[in-house]
Amino acid sequence: MPLDPTLITGIIGILKLLFIAFAVAYFLFSLFVIRQVNLMTETVQTEGGPILKAIAILHAGLALGIIILFIGFL
């Protein structure tokens, strides 16, 4: 029994939207990580504070890059 091509196209479209939605949610999570790192470095003064801030910002940039990558490929 052959599958309907419009059904397959619809399922693929839904999967594409889910991938992009997951990437956006992950980016929002990375923004929360930046906020938490900023609060932590203000509360606890250590030598590694700027390094943690840089890693958090890099993480958010990579998450944004994943969104752009998904939109470009999908």
pLDDT score for 1: 65
Domain count, the chain: 1
pLDDT score for 61: 98
pLDDT score for 5: 86
Residue 37 belongs to domain spanning: 5-73
Query: Cα(71)–Cα(26) distance, rounded to whole angstroms?
Result: 15
SS (H, E, C) the chain: CCCCHHHHHHHHHHHHHHHHHHHHHHHHHHHHHHHHHHHHHHHCCCCCHHHHHHHHHHHHHHHHHHHHHHHHHC
Backbone dihedral angles phi then psi of residue 48, each to the nearest 5 degrees: -90, 5
pTM here is: 0.85
pLDDT, tens digit only, all 74 positions of the chain: 678 889 889 999 999 999 999 999 999 999 999 999 999 999 998 999 999 999 999 999 999 999 999 999 88
pLDDT score for 74: 83
